[in-house]
């Protein structure tokens, strides 16, 4: 008997006392009721408005979750999550063969003994490789006497075999590695819980010895000063997980004696530390959604005094890069879409900034990459990335050209100032991820590596990509990137998966996915709706999808979905929606306002209890979020966010088939948000559609660790949709 069928049998006996023998076949269209969570009404009053939360009891503290013996409340929560896991196991048992087939397809397309493109830095080639049959990366380097890795004959040094390090852990993640200036020591972070709280350690690369220095509760990395013995690192608040203190540590000294060099006391800001590309400066940044502040210190003077570049101001955003006698500043100072300034290193306040690239209404300046003779600018125009290359002497100003209708391009891994080679990555909906070296002097472009799809039936020319502009209800045109297998007709019968995010100014750029082929090859059309709340169309695109304009995000997604139906790509009984985290909020909001539009919805780690979370400053990351969603201590924001909060707006109505996933150790969207949401949906929904909820008890926000294991959940999500389409193979 399979694991799922065993769960099905046990589940009917333990959970459904009245479950008859014919009900154990979960492939029938009618499912038994899911687990009914107990109701413990709690009145929550704010601004004279009272909400009754029947499931607030599901929230556990970290102390409760980490206790060796669960208390009564913890046991109730674990019992409920287990019952839901058993229920989805039973409900999806008949798709077990399909899930296994999908999983094998997905991992089968991934090259097992793969290797990243090496990056040359301080006399070494650094790269990551994978070995067949292993879940984790092996981090390596070789001495670099040659300018091309292919010509390098140096012996490989294995810095870390993460497979060995992960042994015995259900979850394993390595934080950022950083090597000392003399190439002898490496700092690294390890998280074995999935709370993104890393312990920093140090390794001697000459001897292989891991030093006794051990720094807990960090963001995952450490920044070296130029003396090869001093590092700076960032500590997290153990409760809120806010990065709020920067310390100085000298190797070989007690961690308890580390010197606090900066503390961010404003709870709406977080901070961190890094080193400039020039290696000349250590830089402490502190930031919130709408404001940043930087402090600098010469890297060869780690005990010196830090200097503020430009004091923080509300709504003033800026970032710095060092080159020669100047800092180059990307800023929104009098420039909604940002512009580039520069300022002498000895006079850095904004009254000393002089313009290098002016503001443009139709172009978003996203970042820069500085070289000795060239400046590379990353821009976005009409929703698409651009790479612009200029010479400092003004003799060249050009854009790299690409042919796909929708694509993603960006500068990658360029640690060397003294080169005319730009490393960049490129992908499109039909083009596998590709890494290029572009000679900025000659214009020669060299393909170093393209993602290998291990599938004899795959060829890019078998698929078609489109880019549409869909006019939504207020007259704005929303970009949509789409891909499907050639020969697909607009007959109104295609299964169609619509994905979006739409928050934090994060642009969801079109990219290739070998995983997605398992849907495309079964007739699905896949599309990304570049809705407001992202930044695809410029800074205004973000500002028009946040705070008191957040409803635009949900309306855009609904209107794009309806347009896909009207244009004949699909129909409501074949249309599916997917989003995760803030995209899960999107799923919940659209399910409430347009329950008839989708046949199925997949909401991954969904942020759905907006009001309660934004009111609770003890929850990790809450205070950073007020500039995104609003501060509900203000009645205007309270009532506005309540109007769309998925948990608060669940109603007695029909809902689409729904699959919800979460991680018990998630530090960004706590597990109890989706758990409460599912319980309330079960209580109030009036349909017989599937409502399935999976909690990964060993994972956090990013899901299961490991190179392949994570795709078990993807296979489940795909099987959920394929099953609704009646596709079983």
Where in the sequence numbering do the catalytic residues fall? 581, 666, 701
Q: Are 653 and 272 spatial neighbours (Cβ–Cβ below 8 Å)?
A: no
Give the Cα separation of 514 and 198 in Å (integer): 31
Give the Cα separation of 21 and 41 in Å (integer): 35
User: Which DSSP letter does residue 151 get?
Assistant: G
Give the Cα separation of 464 and 494 in Å (integer): 15
| Whole-Å CA distances, 603 to 38, 152, 478, 583, 641 | 23, 47, 22, 8, 19
Tell the burial category of 21 from Cβ atoms under 10 Å away from its Cβ (0-12, 13-18, 19+): exposed
Give the Cα separation of 284 and 264 in Å (integer): 11
Helices and strands counted in the chain (H then E): 14, 39
- Short-list 714, 725, 728, 525, CA closest to 103: 714
Joined together, the tokens standing for residue 490 give 């607009």
- Short-list 120, 166, 161, 122, CA closest to 140: 161
**Run of H or E residues at 640:** helix 635-644
Give the Cα separation of 501 and 584 in Å (integer): 8
| Whole-Å CA distances, 661 to 377, 536, 599 | 38, 27, 18
Give the Cα separation of 499 and 590 in Å (integer): 12
Strand partners, 484: 464
Give the Cα separation of 704 and 710 in Å (integer): 5
């Amino acid at each position: 008997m399979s694991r799922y069928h065993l769960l099905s049998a046990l589940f009917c006996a333990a959970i459904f006392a009245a479950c008859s023998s014919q009900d154990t076949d979960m492939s029938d269209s009618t499912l038994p009721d899911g687990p009914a969570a107990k109701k413990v009404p709690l009145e929550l009053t704010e601004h004279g408005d009272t909400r009754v939360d029947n499931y607030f009891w599901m929230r556990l503290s970290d102390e409760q979750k980490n206790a060796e013996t669960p208390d009564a409340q913890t046991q109730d929560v674990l019992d409920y999550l287990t019952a839901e896991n058993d229920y989805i196991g039973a409900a999806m048992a008949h798709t077990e063969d399909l899930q296994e087939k999908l999983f094998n397809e997905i991992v089968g397309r991934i090259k097992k003994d793969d290797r990243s493109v090496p990056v040359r830095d301080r006399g070494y080639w650094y790269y990551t490789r994978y070995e067949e049959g292993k879940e984790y990366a092996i981090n390596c380097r070789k001495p670099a006497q040659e300018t091309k890795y292919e010509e390098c004959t140096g012996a490989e040094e294995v810095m870390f075999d993460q497979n060995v390090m992960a042994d015995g852990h259900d979850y394993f993640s390595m934080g950022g590695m950083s090597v000392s200036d003399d190439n002898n020591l490496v700092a690294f972070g390890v998280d074995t819980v999935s709370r993104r709280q890393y312990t920093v350690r140090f390794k001697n690369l000459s001897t292989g010895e891991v030093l006794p220095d051990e720094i807990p509760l960090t963001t995952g990395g450490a920044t070296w000063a130029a003396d090869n013995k001093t590092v700076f690192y960032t500590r997290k608040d153990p409760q809120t997980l806010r990065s709020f203190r920067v310390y100085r540590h000298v190797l070989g000294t007690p961690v308890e004696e580390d010197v606090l060099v900066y503390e961010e006391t404003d709870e709406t800001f977080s901070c961190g530390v890094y080193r400039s590309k020039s290696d000349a400066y250590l830089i402490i940044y502190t930031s919130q959604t709408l404001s940043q502040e930087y402090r600098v210190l010469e890297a060869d003077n780690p005990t010196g005094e830090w200097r503020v570049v430009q004091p923080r101001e509300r709504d003033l955003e800026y970032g710095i890069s060092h080159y020669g006698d100047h800092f180059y500043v990307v800023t929104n100072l009098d420039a909604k879409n940002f512009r580039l300034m520069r300022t002498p290193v000895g006079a850095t306040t904004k009254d000393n900034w002089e313009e290098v690239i002016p503001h443009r209404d139709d172009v978003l300046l996203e970042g820069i990459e500085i070289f000795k003779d060239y400046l590379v600018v990353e821009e976005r125009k009409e929703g698409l990335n651009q790479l612009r290359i200029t010479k400092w002497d003004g003799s060249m100003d050009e854009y790299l050209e690409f042919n796909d209708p929708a694509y993603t391009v960006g500068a990658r891994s360029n640690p060397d100032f003294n080169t005319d080679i730009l490393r960049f990555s490129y992908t499109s909906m039909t083009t596998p991820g590709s890494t290029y070296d572009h000679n900025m002097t000659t214009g020669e472009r060299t393909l170093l590596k393209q993602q290998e799809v291990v599938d004899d039936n795959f060829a890019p020319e078998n698929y078609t990509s489109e880019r549409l502009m869909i006019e939504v209800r207020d007259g704005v045109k929303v970009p949509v990137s789409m891909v499907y297998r050639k020969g697909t007709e607009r007959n109104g019968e295609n299964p169609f998966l619509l994905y979006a995010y739409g928050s934090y100014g994060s642009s969801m750029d079109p990219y290739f996915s070998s995983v997605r082929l398992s849907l495309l090859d079964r007739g699905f059309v896949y599309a990304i709706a570049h809705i407001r709340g992202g930044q695809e169309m410029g800074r205004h695109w973000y500002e028009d999808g946040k705070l008191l304009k957040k409803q635009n995000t949900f309306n855009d997604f609904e209107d794009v979905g309806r347009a896909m139906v009207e244009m004949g790509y699909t129909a409501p009984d074949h249309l599916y929606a997917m989003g995760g985290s803030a995209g899960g909020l999107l799923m919940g909001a659209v399910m409430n306002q347009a329950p008839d539009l989708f046949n199925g919805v997949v909401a991954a780690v969904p942020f759905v209890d907006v009001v309660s979370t934004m009111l609770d400053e003890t929850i990790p990351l809450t205070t950073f979020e007020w500039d995104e969603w609003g501060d509900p201590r203000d009645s205007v924001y309270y009532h506005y966010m309540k109007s769309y909060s998925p948990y608060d707006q669940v109603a007695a109505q029909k809902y689409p088939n729904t699959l919800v996933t979460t991680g018990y150790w998630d530090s960004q969207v706590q597990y109890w948000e989706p758990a409460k949401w599912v319980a309330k949906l079960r209580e109030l929904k009036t349909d017989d559609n599937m409502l399935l909820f999976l909690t990964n008890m060993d994972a956090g926000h990013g899901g299961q660790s490991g190179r392949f294991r994570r795709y078990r959940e993807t296979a489940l999500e795909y099987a959920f949709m394929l099953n609704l389409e009646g596709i079983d193979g």
